[in-house]
Structure 1
Amino acid sequence: MTIALPADASALENGLIEIARRAGAAMMKIYDTDFEIRSKDDASPVTEADDAAEAVILPGLRALTPNVKIVSEESAAAGDIPDVNGDTDFFWLVDPLDGTKEFIKRNGEFTVNIALIAKGAPVLGVVYAPAIEKLYYGGPDGAKLIEGNGDVDDTTRAITVRDMPEDGVVVVGSRSHGDPEAMKAFLGDLAVKELRPAGSSLKLCLLAEGVADLYPRLGPTMEWDIGAGHAVLAAAGGVVENMDGTRFAYGKADFRNPFFIARSPSVPVTYQS
């Protein structure tokens, strides 16, 4: 599927990376302070770092692409949800701080997620983990990992999914959510070398980086939780699909995701009806 982007691809890439880094910096100013933790209507936690990151991202995206709608987690929680058509519209999908529970635990596994959705699919995405200084980017020219804090000593390398290892797959799962019995039932007789927990959308990025192979998500998520990671994984040659093997689409009426499978294409799975 060839899609004309709403701005020059290099301008979008540079702009997204800059916005993500600035949002990460805003988070890190709060990370080691005695920050307040609140509960949203769905009982999930939120902190002032979520708000600070969103306050950077939204004006940055509006300046970058003035005519593209933005769906962002914290704004959506406050009732500010633009009307988007997942079949036709471009829109930004934002989780200003993905992995708030990991932020609260101060384990470093939280990210800034920004994805550009077009015709129901993520076409660009950036996932930035400021505490561990890793930034993943995916777009039409492939996926890459930038390690460093944004200065001249950063290292950049292209990343791709790997072929299924002969000694068994590395399966990633949520560090703070998940059902071990459901995971065991899903994996069945698949040869598994390691079950590796990880926070936030880093799970999708580990597949894109070629250090893990399979991520079955057997619990609730929202589109903004995975859109950016999906963009990175797709650019690296991986797939995200519904449990029955059908296309995973964005722009659903309530932005809620069904259970899904993210994987390297070389990893066989048994689809569920």
Structure 2
Amino acid sequence: MKFAELLPAVLEIAEEAGRRIMQVRGSADFGVTEKADHSPVTLADMAAHRHIAAELRTLAPQIPLLSEEDADIAFDTRRAWSRYWLVDPLDGTKEFIKRNDDFTVNIALIEDGYPVLGVVVAPALNVRYFAAQGVGAFQIKDGVRSELHVRKAPAIPVFVVSRSHKNPELEAFLAAAPPHEARSRGSSLKFCQIAAGEADLYPRTGPTSEWDTGAGQCVAEQAGALVLRLPDLSRLRYNQKDSLLNPLFAVIGDCSVDWKPLLATIAA
């Protein structure tokens, strides 16, 4: 499969999903309901999901799909997949409901447990991030395309942290960390800030699901970042167990910095 040819088609699918999300955002009623796990879902989530699922089936009918809005697939079935789409049609639903701009459309292609293609579209911010193995990582912001690379960490590094999922573990980590600047962002944009050289470390101290991270991980890794599970610092991997919850992890921009002692405080 030629990722350079596949990437533009997936990007267009995500962009159209973003347009459908924005149509709902312009309405008075988001149709908010609660799923079995008590997380919210809106008309925008479902509109994006239906579009993405239909278009990916047309684009690559042989590749199965795992979406947050259609995730009830037994591990006995999933474990046989060497390649599949991993989708979060609307990442940052809480931000969307609050009418914040930090929500995204995430589409990743997973091969042998790792993301090899990823698209992150932030429709309210008019920015798109996309990457593929052997192709690189890129963004289109306000119509301008540029290649993404992580940066050398400055003397006062920037930590990007969750806006809606702060917890005591994160507060303790930040309190114990050396001098830094902490910025709060929602959704998979935290991965993309590392990829774009706008932040240096993303420590994740709270729960995420695999669809939250697949696309962002691809963008970050193809820009030169490391996405490491905690505490063993192995590469974050997918579809390895019955649960679709991720372990704790960290995204590192400048790999020449020894972040291990600091990250060990999260593992503890």
| Partner SS state of residue 257, structure 1 | coil
Which letter does structure 2 place at the counterpart of 1:106? Answer: R
Please provide the CA RMSD for this pair.
1.7
Q: Which residue of 2 aligns with 1:246?
A: 234
Separation of aligned partners in 2, 1:97 and 1:19: 13
Separation of aligned partners in 2, 1:215 and 1:192: 15
Residue 163 of structure 1 deviates from its aligned partner by: 1.1
Match of 2:260 among 237, 246, 269: 269
Residue 85 of structure 1 deviates from its aligned partner by: 2.4
Separation of aligned partners in 1, 2:124 and 2:74: 30
Q: Which residue of 2 aligns with 1:134?
A: 127
Separation of aligned partners in 1, 2:106 and 2:250: 19
Q: Mind listing any 5+ residue stretches in structure 2 that lack a counterpart?
A: none
Q: Which residue of 1 aligns with 2:89?
A: 96
Separation of aligned partners in 1, 2:179 and 2:130: 28
Residue 189 of structure 1 deviates from its aligned partner by: 5.2
| Partner SS state of residue 67, structure 1 | coil
Q: Which residue of 2 aligns with 1:178?
A: 166
When normalised by structure 2's length, the TM-score is 0.91
Separation of aligned partners in 2, 1:188 and 1:232: 29
When normalised by structure 1's length, the TM-score is 0.89
Match of 2:14 among 17, 20, 43: 20
Question: Can you list the C-alpha shifts for 1:153-202, whole angstroms capped at 9, x where unaligned?
Answer: x1100011111112x111111111121x4224335654333110000000
Q: Which residue of 2 aligns with 1:63?
A: 58
Residue 80 of structure 1 deviates from its aligned partner by: 4.8
Q: Is the 8 A contact 1:75 1:81 kept in 2?
A: no
| Partner SS state of residue 75, structure 1 | coil
Q: Which residue of 2 aligns with 1:155?
A: 144
Q: Which residue of 2 aligns with 1:38?
A: 33
Q: Which residue of 2 aligns with 1:259?
A: 248
Match of 1:205 among 192, 197, 200: 192
Mark the CA change 1:250 to 1:104 in structure 2 (over 3 Å): closer, same or farther: same
Q: Which residue of 2 aligns with 1:106?
A: 99
Superposed structure 1 runs of 4+ greater than 6 Å apart: none
Q: Which residue of 2 aligns with 1:124?
A: 117
Higher-helix-fraction structure: 2
Mark the CA change 1:236 to 1:37 in structure 2 (over 3 Å): closer, same or farther: same
Which letter does structure 2 place at the counterpart of 1:170? Answer: V
Q: Is the 8 A contact 1:169 1:191 kept in 2?
A: no
Match of 2:3 among 4, 9, 14: 9
Question: Can you list the C-alpha shifts for 1:51-74, whole angstroms capped at 9, x where unaligned?
Answer: 000111011111121111110001
Residue 9 of structure 1 deviates from its aligned partner by: 1.8
Separation of aligned partners in 2, 1:243 and 1:186: 14
Separation of aligned partners in 2, 1:234 and 1:216: 15
Question: Can you list the C-alpha shifts for 1:19-41, whole angstroms capped at 9, x where unaligned?
Answer: 00110011011002122110001
Question: Can you list the C-alpha shifts for 1:199-234, whole angstroms capped at 9, x where unaligned?
Answer: 000011000010001111111110000110000000
Separation of aligned partners in 2, 1:189 and 1:32: 42
Q: Mind listing any 5+ residue stretches in structure 1 that lack a counterpart?
A: 1-6, 149-153
| Partner SS state of residue 74, structure 1 | coil
